[in-house]
């Protein structure tokens, strides 16, 4: 089912079996909307006739409308979860991965935070965990939604500060120390260099990159200059830039950390990219057999496959220098 035509052929019968339920759930959703509007209007008329206070009129109308809307959309929301889980499960299996919709213990999230790869947050949620193995290296990819609390004189609200994917890869090459790759901070580079960088009591020094293209795009810090250059081969840096187009996202950054791996010389690579919300079932107001629904998810699974192979495919001969050299 890696081929889109095959995916459409295999998934269409299953989706056709759910189409009658979708139509019924959509009808109930519209019914809830109509009843909510009518109920709220009736409440307003009753309050007006009884000369009840405006706040009572307003709050009661909103509660009635939202309550009936929730009743109306309940079946549609349940179906959306069923379709999403079913499609993701089937695609994950076809691409040689495992899928879990709920993420209760996000893998290495503390490490992502400690390395300053994601911003601080007051509210966070995680979903859509994919895991597997490529070229002998295991990986995990999941989505994160991070929000910070804001306060004004009259209210408290939340704003999204990050929505994207977090990727953990058990890197198959030797990793020693810490090598941090962040986006170029432009005019703030000097301040960044002055304020940073230490990790676990170790000083991270600025690492210069040979290629000016990468030098403009990234800021690199490491505990070991030789090791950093061993890891950040030209081919790897090209792949890192390529990830942004593969992910259809922005601000890709990463860290190599020997302390996260298991066994001598085996560290982990953590990658972050701002991609928005992916791996969803699509609109329930369109027929489930709409080919664009399958095509969108197929493209996103191909994206995961591309990411992992892009990072982990064996380097071409001469692509790296031994750290002992």
- Taking only the tens place, the pLDDT of each residue in 161-197 is 999 999 999 887 778 889 999 877 654 444 455 445 6
For the cut 50, the answer to whether the pLDDT of residue 324 exceeds it is: no
Question: pLDDT class for 198, splitting at 50, 70, 90?
Answer: low
pLDDT tens by residue, 102-132: 999 999 999 999 998 999 999 999 999 999 9
Report pLDDT for 318: 40
Determine which of 60-74, 167-181, 276-290, 302-316 has the lowest per-residue pLDDT on average. 302-316
Report pLDDT for 1: 64
Give the predicted TM-score (pTM) of the model.
Answer: 0.83
CA angle 146, 194, 273 (to 5 degrees): 30
Domain boundaries, the chain: 1-94, 98-325
Question: pLDDT class for 141, splitting at 50, 70, 90?
Answer: very high
Of 138, 145, 96, which is closest to residue 280 (Cα–Cα)?
145
Report pLDDT for 321: 39
Report pLDDT for 271: 92
Distance CA 181, CA 254 (A): 5
Mean pLDDT, rounded, for 149-166? 93
pLDDT tens by residue, 217-276: 888 899 988 888 888 888 788 877 777 777 766 788 899 998 886 654 568 999 998 888
CA dihedral 271, 276, 281, 282 (to 10 degrees): -150
Q: How far apart are the first and last CA of the chain?
A: 45
Element counts in the chain: helices (H) and strands (E): 9, 11
Report pLDDT for 199: 56
For the cut 50, the answer to whether the pLDDT of residue 319 exceeds it is: no
Burial track 35-61 (b if 16+ CB lie within 10 A, e otherwise): bbeebbeebbeebeeeeeeeeebeebb
User: Which residue(s) pair with 131 in the sheet?
Assistant: 98, 140
pLDDT, the chain, mean: 85
Crossing angle between the packed helical segments 4-16 and 291-312, to the nearest 10 degrees: 140
């Amino acid at each position: 089912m890696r081929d889109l035509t095959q995916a459409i052929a295999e998934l269409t019968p299953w989706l056709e079996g759910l189409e009658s339920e979708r139509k019924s759930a959509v009808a109930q959703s519209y019914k809830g909307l109509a009843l909510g509007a009518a109920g709220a209007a009736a409440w307003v008329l009753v309050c007006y006739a009884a000369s009840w206070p405006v706040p009572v009129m307003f709050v009661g109308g909103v509660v009635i409308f939202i309550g009936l809307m929730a009743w109306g959309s309940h079946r549609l929301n349940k179906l959306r979860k069923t379709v999403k889980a079913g499609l993701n499960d089937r695609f994950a299996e076809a691409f040689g991965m495992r899928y879990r919709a709920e993420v209760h213990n996000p893998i290495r999230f503390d490490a992502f935070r400690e390395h300053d790869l994601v911003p601080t947050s007051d509210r966070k949620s995680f979903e859509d965990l994919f895991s597997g193995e490529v070229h002998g290296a295991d990986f995990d990819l999941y989505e994160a939604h991070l929000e910070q609390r804001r306060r004004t004189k009259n209210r408290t609200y939340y704003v999204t500060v990050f929505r994207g994917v977090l990727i953990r890869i058990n890197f198959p090459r030797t990793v020693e120390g810490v090598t941090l790759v962040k986006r170029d901070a432009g005019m703030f580079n000097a301040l960044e260099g002055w304020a940073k960088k230490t990790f676990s009591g170790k000083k991270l020094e600025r690492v210069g990159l040979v290629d000016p293209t990468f030098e403009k795009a990234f800021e690199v810090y490491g505990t070991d200059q030789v090791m950093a250059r061993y890891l950040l081969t030209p081919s790897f840096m090209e792949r890192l830039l390529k990830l942004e187009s593969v992910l259809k996202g922005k601000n890709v950054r990463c860290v190599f950390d020997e302390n996260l791996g298991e066994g001598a010389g085996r560290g982990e690579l953590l990658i972050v990219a701002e991609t928005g919300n992916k791996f969803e079932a699509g609109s329930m107001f369109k027929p489930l057999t709409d080919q664009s629904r399958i095509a969108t998810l197929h493209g996103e699974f191909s994206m995961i496959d591309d990411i992992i192979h892009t990072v982990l495919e064996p380097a071409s001969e001469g692509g790296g220098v031994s750290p002992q050299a």
